[in-house]
Chains A and B, each alone.
Chain A
C-alpha cells in the first residue's frame, strides 16, 4: 500500500519551455502533497506544500511564479516549471500524506529534469 506514482521519470527539453510533472497517490487519498528538489549527493530540499483545493505554500526562496503547483484532487498534484532554464535542471520528487498530521510521507520515484 501507499504507492505514489510520478510521471514522467525523465524529461529533456529546450530552454524556455514549460514542463509539467504529475504526482499521483494510487491507493490512498492524499490530503497533503509535497514537492522537493534534490541536487546530486545532497538531501531533499522542500519546495512547497499543497493541500487539496488550496493554494500551495512555498518555502523561502522558491519562486511561486516559476514553479506552479496545482492540487486539484485528493490523488493528483502537478508541478509546472515555467520557462525552464538550465539552472532548473535537477531531480524533482513529490511525496504524499494521507489524512492526519501523524501519518508519514510516501515518496514518488522522482523526475529527472534536464534543460538544454
Chain B
C-alpha cells in the first residue's frame, strides 16, 4: 500500500462546477500538507500549503486537512477550463526534507 493514495481520475466536470480532490495517507507523522497543480510538460505550481489540521482558503481554492482521519481535500469553486491539469497532493513530517507525493489526479473542466 502506498503511503499517500490519490485517485488518478480523470475527473471530468462542467465549467462552473465545484471540484473536490482528495488524498488519504497512512503516516501519522505528516504535519505539512500541500497541493500542487501541474500542467502538461510543466513543473508543479504550489496552490495551497497548510500545517496540521484545519481549513485554508485562497480565492477559489479551499484546502482541508483532517489528521484524525488522515484525509486531505482540495475544493475548487467555479471551476474553469484553465483549471484542467493534474493536481498533486504532497506532505511531509516535521523532521527531514522529503515530500511524499500522491500519484496525482487529472482534472478536466469542460466549457
Interface on A for B, CB 8 Å cutoff? 2, 4, 6, 32, 34, 42-44, 46, 49, 91, 93, 95, 97, 101-102, 104-110, 112
Q: Is the CB of A42 within 8 A of B97?
A: no
Residue of A nearest to B102 (CB): A43
18 contacts between A and B (CB under 8 A): A42-B103, A43-B103, A44-B44, A46-B99, A49-B97, A49-B98, A95-B43, A101-B94, A101-B97, A102-B32, A105-B99, A107-B36, A107-B46, A109-B42, A109-B43, A110-B41, A110-B42, A112-B41
Q: Among B32, B97, B101, point to the contact of A44 (Cβ < 8 A).
A: B101
Residue of B nearest to A103 (CB): B49
Which residues of B25-55 are within 8 A (CB) of A?
A: 32, 34, 36, 41-46, 49, 51
How far is B99's CA from A34's CA once the two chains are assembled, in angstroms? 10
CB-CB under 8 A for A104 and B43, given A32-B97, A43-B88, A44-B101: no
Interface on B for A, CB 8 Å cutoff? 32, 34, 36, 41-46, 49, 51, 88, 94, 97-99, 101-104
B-side interface mostly: loop
How far is B1's CA from A81's CA once the two chains are assembled, in angstroms? 32
CB-CB under 8 A for A34 and B101, given A107-B44, A108-B43, A110-B41: no
CB-CB under 8 A for A93 and B43, given A49-B97, A107-B36: yes
How far is B6's CA from A42's CA once the two chains are assembled, in angstroms? 12
5 extra interchain contacts, Cβ-Cβ under 8 A, other than A34-B97, A110-B42? A46-B98, A95-B43, A97-B97, A104-B34, A109-B42
Residue of B nearest to A108 (CB): B43
Most buried by A among B41, B43, B99: B43
- B33 vs chain A, min Cβ distance (A): 10
- A77 vs chain B, min Cβ distance (A): 14
CB-CB under 8 A for A107 and B41, given A34-B97, A43-B101, A43-B102: no
